[in-house]
């Protein structure tokens, strides 16, 4: 099996330097161009996919669609999962990163952004922008919907997708005698967790993901 990871293109809130998390924002014009460039590059390199995975956030879905369109592969099946969402930044969502650092200090903001086991200030479930009030999560139990996440919690929800007892498209394709190539368009924080385990063989207790940086480009592995 071969995996290709793509971080979503620049979003409107990336451009404004705002904490985004689970808030659903659109790609900026630059982000749309980045996604198109990635798709063209994949086509140029001869990448052909059997299946694509993405989150339920618009910026990731749009990136996935554009990449597949530009590589002439819009027919490829897509699986969308909330478990591939960005980490939830709690009350920080929507705040200006620079202003937040000026108010609380660079060190505290760094801890909220990159800490393995320190949670950001939690968002009130009754907040109008809470995922508890978003119909895309209506089928999830209330105690599963996060109000804020650290890397540990984010990693735990993503890990469920890779449990051996879950049916995998790659296993079905392997039984058909072919090597599967999967495209995953998602967010930087969820990429960090996967790269930490796949490329470094690190367990859930390891904190090294805090230092992994994922740019807006494609990586294969």
Active-site residues, by number, are 8, 86
Helices (H), 51-138: 58-70, 97-104, 106-114
Which residues fall within 8 angstroms of residue 28, CB to CB, at 6 or more apart? Answer: 9, 10, 11, 12, 14, 15
- The DSSP 8-state label assigned to residue 94 in this structure reads T
Cα distances (angstroms) measured from residue 12 to each of 31, 36, 98: 8, 17, 16
**CA-to-CA distance for 130 and 203, rounded, in angstroms?**
31
Q: How far apart are CA 80 and CA 199, in angstroms?
A: 24
Question: For residue 203, how far is the Cα from the chain centroid?
Answer: 19
């Amino acid at each position: 099996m071969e995996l290709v990871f793509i971080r979503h293109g620049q979003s409107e809130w990336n451009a404004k330097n705002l904490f985004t998390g689970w808030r659903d924002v659109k790609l900026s014009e630059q982000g749309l161009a980045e996604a198109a460039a990635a798709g063209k590059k994949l086509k140029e390199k001869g990448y052909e996919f059997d299946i694509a995975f993405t989150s339920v956030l618009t910026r990731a879905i749009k990136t996935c669609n554009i990449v597949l369109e530009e590589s002439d592969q819009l027919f490829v099946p897509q699986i969308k999962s909330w478990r591939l969402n960005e980490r939830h930044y709690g009350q920080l969502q929507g705040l200006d990163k620079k202003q937040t650092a000026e108010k609380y200090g660079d060190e505290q903001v760094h801890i909220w952004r990159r800490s393995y086991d320190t949670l950001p200030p939690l968002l009130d479930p009754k907040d109008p922008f809470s995922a508890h009030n978003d119909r895309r999560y209506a089928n999830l139990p209330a105690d599963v919907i996060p109000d804020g996440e650290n890397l540990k919690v984010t990693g735990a929800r993503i890990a469920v997708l890779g449990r051996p007892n879950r049916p995998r498209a790659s296993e079905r394709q392997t039984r058909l005698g072919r090597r599967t190539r999967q495209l995953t368009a998602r967010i930087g924080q969820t990429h960090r967790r996967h790269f930490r385990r796949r490329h470094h063989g690190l367990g859930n207790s390891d904190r090294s993901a805090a230092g992994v940086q994922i740019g807006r480009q494609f990586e294969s592995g």
